[in-house]
Amino acid sequence: MIYLDNAASTQIHEEVLDAMLPFLKEQYGNPSSIHRFGRLTEKAINKARKEISTLINASPDEILITSGGTESNNTALCGIANLNDGNHIITSSIEHEAILEPCKKLEKQGFDVTYLSVNNKGLINPDELDSEITDKTCLVTVMFANNEVGTTQPILDIAKICKNHNVPFHSDAVQAVGKIPIDVKNLGIDLLSISSHKINGPKGIGALFIRNGINIDPLILGGGQEYGLRSGTENVSGIVGFGKACSLAHQNLNANISHMKNLRDYMVSKITNEISHTTYNGHETLRTPNNAHFTFLGVNGEDLIIKLDENGIAASTGSACSVKTQKASHVLQSMGFSHEQISGSLRLTVGIFNTKEEIDSTVDILKKVVSELRSVSPFKEKYGF
Ligand SMILES: *Cc1c(COP(=O)(O)O)cnc(C)c1O
């Protein structure tokens, strides 16, 4: 199999697994215990917290460990909303469901949510953000990089606008971490969501960066772990694995970025040159180094994925989460894509373990499969395939 769905999840790094195993076997102490079993796991968590914080240039005490990107987003949104007088939130129309769904819930509770529009490349307009902020605005949340088309937002501009208005700024950086250098101090971000399994770590673990001085209302109450912001006995092996994944991502950041970008650019140029009636979607330069998103006119994306799978290639139409609900992508709709363009879309996301040979095979198979599907397409006459 050739795995080109790294935006959905990634292969665990061998070193990450090795770091985790002792904590699934002999190191089973509760980190809150006073005896040496407890002290050992507590120490392992502290080390991991340091590794996580280093990747984004935060302090360890600004890292709240969660069960993943979804929980981090929920915690940021509800945690800020519950504590504030303001009842207005600003986000973008292309966020992940883990932002949009909590927004919907807050709307039901009486919050106003403004959804910023995006252009046909998936970029928000900072001026629109500036004009939408009111004295009721208690949070701005705009994703760092989009999970379907890879577009990266003008985060520095957004953070400056929020700072001018004295409104906290949260960013869902799940797709950006490990692919783009992120320095929360330089960027002026107040809250930032990260997920382990998108950077070759284990699933079910992630973090929310919360700048010192920002208060949030805890969603989970109990024994007071995680500074009282998220109670419950820590997922020690997961945390250790996540820490290791962050440390590897930090160490290899530049090499990983150029590896992924080289493969992606090579793949994009082959596909757009060798397959007709194909568009490369999203922004040319403001995008994550691993994301490629195409529309193959006259082809149904789901059929394409099934055919690719039969031929040993794992790909996606877009977000893994919206595939099951069979909804047309809200991201592509917001970017002004027609129904036909949305239907023919395919996302290929490379990872640190992919090779050039895999890309060559993928393009060969894709050529064959697209042409098979086009030979029976209802749009055959229209495009003259
Ligand atoms: C994957 C993803 C999430 C969800 O993260 P989990 O750790 O799977 O809960 C949130 N936002 C974006 C942009 C993602 O790509």
pLDDT in tens, 222-247: 999 999 999 999 999 999 999 999 99
Please tell me the distance from the alpha carbon of residue 216 to that of residue 213, in angstroms, as a whole number: 10
| Residue 227, Cβ density class (10 Å: 0-12 exposed, 13-18 middle, ≥19 buried) | exposed
Handedness of CA 291, 121, 324, 199 (dihedral sign): positive
Which tens digit of pLDDT belongs to each residue from 10-64? Answer: 999 999 999 999 999 999 999 999 999 999 999 999 999 999 999 999 999 999 9
Give the model's pLDDT for residue 85.
83
Atom of ligand 1 nearest to the CA of 195: 7
Residue bearing the CA closest to ligand 1, atom 12: 174
DSSP string covering 230-293, please? B-S---HHHHHHHHHHHHHHHHTHHHHHHHHHHHHHHHHHHHHHHSSSEEE-S-SSSB-TTEEE
Ligand 1 contact via 201 beta carbon (within 6 Å): no
206 pocket-lining for ligand 1 (C-beta < 6 Å) = yes
Dist CA 323 CA 6 (whole Å): 16
Identify the band that residue 318 occupies on the pLDDT scale cut at 50, 70 and 90.
confident
> Order of strands across the sheet with 291-296?
278-280, 291-296, 345-349
Cα angle 186, 206, 184 (rounded to 5 degrees) comes to 5
**Structural contact between residues 271 and 363, judged by C-beta atoms closer than 8 angstroms:** yes
Looking at the CA of residue 72, tell me the nearest atom of ligand 1. Answer: 9
3-class SS at 368? helix
- The answer on pLDDT for 80 being more than 90 is yes
> Residue 321 has what pLDDT?
45
What pLDDT does 328 receive?
Answer: 87
119-133 pLDDT, tens per residue? 999 999 999 999 999
Residue-wise pLDDT tens digits, 288-310: 999 999 999 999 999 999 999 99
Domains recognised in the chain with CATH numbers: 2-8+253-376 (3.90.1150.10), 14-251 (3.40.640.10)
CA 154-158-164 angle, 5° bins? 150
**In the annotation, is 321 catalytic?**
yes
User: Across-strand partners of 91?
Assistant: 115
| CA 43/CA 39 separation, integer angstroms | 6
Both tokens of 145, joined, read 């990089």
Mean pLDDT across the chain, nearest whole number? Answer: 96
Task: Report whether residue 147 contacts ligand 1, using a CB cutoff of 6 Å.
Answer: yes
Indicate whether residue 143 lines ligand 1 (CB < 6 A): yes
Distance 112 CA to ligand 1 centre (A): 24
Query: Residue 342 and residue 301: Cα distance in Å, rounded?
Result: 8
